[in-house]
Amino acid sequence: MSARAWCRRARLWSTSVSISHSSQHSVSLNRYWAILLIGLSAPIAAADWQSVASVLQQRCVMCHSGDTAPLGLQLSDYGSLMQGSVNGPVIVAGDPDGSPLIQRIRGTAQPQMPLAGPPLANKDIELITEWVAAGAKGPDAADVPAVAAPTDPYADGVVRYDEVAGIFGRHCVLCHADGGKYLSPPEGLKLTDYNSILRGGERVVVLPGNAAGSEIIRRVKGLAKPRMPFNGPPWLTDDEIALLAAWIDGGALSAEGEPAPIPVGGRVRLRGRLTAANAIDGAEFVTNNATRTKDLPPIGGMAELRGYIDADGRIVAERLRSR
DSSP letters for 21-42:
T-TT----HHHHHHHHHHHHHS
What pLDDT is attached to residue 42? 38
19 confidence band (pLDDT: 50, 70, 90): very low
Please report the pLDDT score of residue 70 as a whole number.
86
With CA atoms as reference, report the closest residue to 60 among 69, 51, 71.
Answer: 69
Distance CA 278, CA 59 (A): 43
pLDDT of residue 163: 93
Of 220, 249, 278, the last residue of a domain is: 249
DSSP for residue 103: H
Q: Are residues 24 and 94 in the same domain?
A: no
Domain check: are 227 and 281 in the same one?
A: no
Query: Could you read off the pLDDT of 24-68 as tens digits, one per residue?
Result: 444 444 554 444 444 443 344 458 998 998 899 888 987 898 777
Mean pLDDT of the chain: 85
pLDDT at 146: 53
State the burial class of residue 205 (Cβ atoms within 10 Å of its Cβ: 0-12, 13-18, 19+). Answer: buried
Q: Is 155 inside any structural domain? A: no
CA distances from 167 to 29, 66, 143, 204, 236 (A): 61, 11, 30, 19, 8
Residues 90 and 110 both lie in one domain: yes
| 188 & 205 share domain | yes
CA 267 – CA 308 distance, rounded (Å)? 5
Q: Quick one: average pLDDT of 309-320?
A: 97
Q: Which tens digits make up the pLDDT trace of 111-164?
A: 888 876 678 999 999 999 999 999 999 987 555 545 556 689 999 999 999 999
Q: Tell me, yes or no, whether 59 and 133 share the same domain.
A: yes
Residue 301: its pLDDT value, please? 96
Same domain, yes or no: 64 and 37: no
Q: What is the pLDDT of residues 80-105, one digit of tens each?
A: 999 999 999 999 999 999 999 999 99
258: pLDDT confidence band, cut at 50, 70 and 90?
very high
Q: How far apart are CA 169 and CA 171, in angstroms?
A: 6
How many independent structural domains does the chain possess? 4
Task: For residues 199 and 180, state if they share a domain.
Answer: yes
In a domain, 239, yes or no: yes
Query: What whole-number distance in Å separates Cα of residue 198 and Cα of residue 101?
Result: 29
47, 48, 51, 53: CA torsion to nearest 10: 130
Residues 276, 297, single domain; the answer is yes
Residue 151 lies in a domain: no
Let me know: does 314 contact 268? Beta carbons within 8 Å: no
Question: Are 185 and 238 members of one domain?
Answer: yes
Q: Are residues 132 and 66 in the same domain?
A: yes
- DSSP annotation of 137: -
pTM of the model: 0.73
Q: What is the dihedral of CA 180, 67, 241, 239, to 10 degrees?
A: -160
Residues 32 and 76 in one domain: no
d(CA 115, CA 171): 12
Q: What is the mean pLDDT of residues 253-281?
A: 96
Place 316 in a pLDDT band, splitting at 50, 70 and 90. Answer: very high
Residues 39 and 8: beta-carbon distance below 8 Å: yes
Domain boundary among 86, 106, 139: 139
The pLDDT assigned to 231 comes to: 80
Q: Does 122 fall in a domain? A: yes
**Domain presence at residue 176:** yes
Q: If you average pLDDT over residues 204-231, what whole number do you get?
A: 96
Residue 132 lies in a domain: yes
**Is residue 149 included in any domain, yes or no?**
no
* Inter-residue contact 58 to 29 (CB < 8 Å): no
Find the domain containing 22 and state its range: 3-41
Q: How far apart are CA 50 and CA 146, in angstroms?
A: 10
Task: Determine, yes or no, domain membership for 12.
Answer: yes
Residue 134 sits in the same domain as residue 55? yes
Listed ranges 8-17, 144-153, 160-169, 263-272; the one with the highest mean pLDDT: 263-272
pLDDT in tens, 183-211: 899 999 999 899 999 999 999 999 999 99
Closest CA to 48 of 120, 106, 123, 132: 132
Q: Can the peptide bond before residue 229 be classed as cis, meaning omega within 30 degrees of 0?
A: yes
